[in-house]
Homo-oligomer: A and B are copies of this chain.
Amino acid sequence: MPVSEFSLIDRYLATQGLSRSDVALGIGDDCALLLPPTGQHLVVTMDTLVADVHFFAATDPAGLGHKALAVNLSDLAAMGATPAWATLALTLPAADENWLGRFCRGLFALADRHGVQLVGGDTTHGPTTVITIQAHGFIPPGLALRRDGAKPGDGIYVTGTPGDAGLALAAACGKTTVVAEYRDYIRRRLEWPEPRIAQGLALRGIASAAIDISDGLAQDLGHILERSRVGARLEVERLPLSPALAASLDRDAALMFALASGDDYELCFTVPPERTVQLEALVTDWDCCCTRIGVITAEPGLRLIRADGSDFRLERLGYDHFG
């Protein structure tokens, strides 16, 4: 017997243990009633994952629950915001209780870890699984890490090791082979990305611009350049390659993945020279590496340079949903 929408919502989506004091009314009415903190900006972002486009339909639902929230928290991180609330729109081909239970386990584990409460949403029937989450956070006015603040001379940095998720996807599609010892690691990088919330918070007042790398480092850095009306000189040999990526592909192919494959959810940000010392002190506490990969230039455009000064040619810039 099919389970009705309402019992589904009650049984799974309303079972999160976390209960924030700024939620006056959560799941179960026409709307949620929330109390944003006085004098702060409300920071909102919305991201969708579609089956067979952003994930394989057979993916572990717990990982999907994690990732659907993680990609949104990653946007909050890129803004330097403190996460608070989320809403979920879930379109499913069938009311599969086992799937839902696992999905919620992954979703709530990450939500609890960042103090995020699920306050509402909508569950609908459809031919394909589509997961949209909206995440809400806060930041004091003036401190948000926007895309439009980079200035010539600012250093360009990236957290973690971009390209791993792209490698995992290429391997899953049979387009490349990954050394056996790294298979678990790269699958985890694709399916369980860790939003860089702590890093985003730490970068308030330090970074001049920031973005999260969801569509590929080169393309996403390009958004900072465009919005800031500047260019960049990126030294490709400085790109931090994970041992998994370095061991699985030849060097140029690995650099290509680090620059142009999507789904990394690392932060790319810029820091003015006078704050470099502050940044260097900060990153020693981080649970991920942070690497300086280039510099912002007054001359527009993104130049990719090898150690010998020659140009590195990218075959494609990054992921385009309709390309």
CB distance from A168 to the nearest CB of B (A): 20
Tell me, yes or no, whether A28 is within 8 Å of chain B by CB.
yes
- Residues in chain B near residue A91, CB distance under 8 A: 48, 50, 130
The size bracket of the interface on A is 35 or more
Once A8-B322, A124-B321 are accepted as A-B contacts, the answer to whether A147 and B89 lie under 8 Å apart by CB is no
A270 within 8 A of B: no
Give the copy number. Answer: 2
A30 and B149 CA atoms in complex are apart in Å by 13
Mask, A110-152, CB within 8 Å of B = 1, is 0000000001111111111010101011010100101110000
Chain B contacts for A136, CB-based, 8 A: 44
CB of A283, distance to nearest CB on chain B (Å): 21
Across-interface contacts of A130 in B (CB, < 8 A): 91, 126, 128, 130
Q: Please give the distance in Å from A318's CB to the nearest CB on chain B.
A: 10
Q: What 8 additional pairs, Cβ within 8 angstroms, besides A32-B43, A46-B89?
A: A31-B44, A31-B76, A44-B120, A46-B120, A46-B121, A53-B124, A126-B130, A132-B132
Residues of A within 8 A of B (CB): 2-6, 8, 24-25, 28-36, 38-39, 41-48, 50-54, 75-76, 78-79, 81, 85, 87-89, 91, 94-95, 119-128, 130, 132, 134, 136-137, 139, 141, 144, 146-148, 210-212, 227, 320-323
List 7 tightest A-B contacts by C-beta distance, closest first: A50-B126, A30-B78, A89-B132, A31-B45, A5-B321, A95-B322, A34-B42
Can you sample 21 A-B contacts with CB below 8 Å? Answer: A2-B322, A4-B320, A5-B322, A5-B323, A25-B144, A25-B146, A31-B79, A32-B44, A33-B43, A34-B43, A35-B41, A35-B42, A35-B141, A44-B85, A46-B132, A50-B125, A53-B126, A91-B130, A95-B322, A125-B321, A127-B127
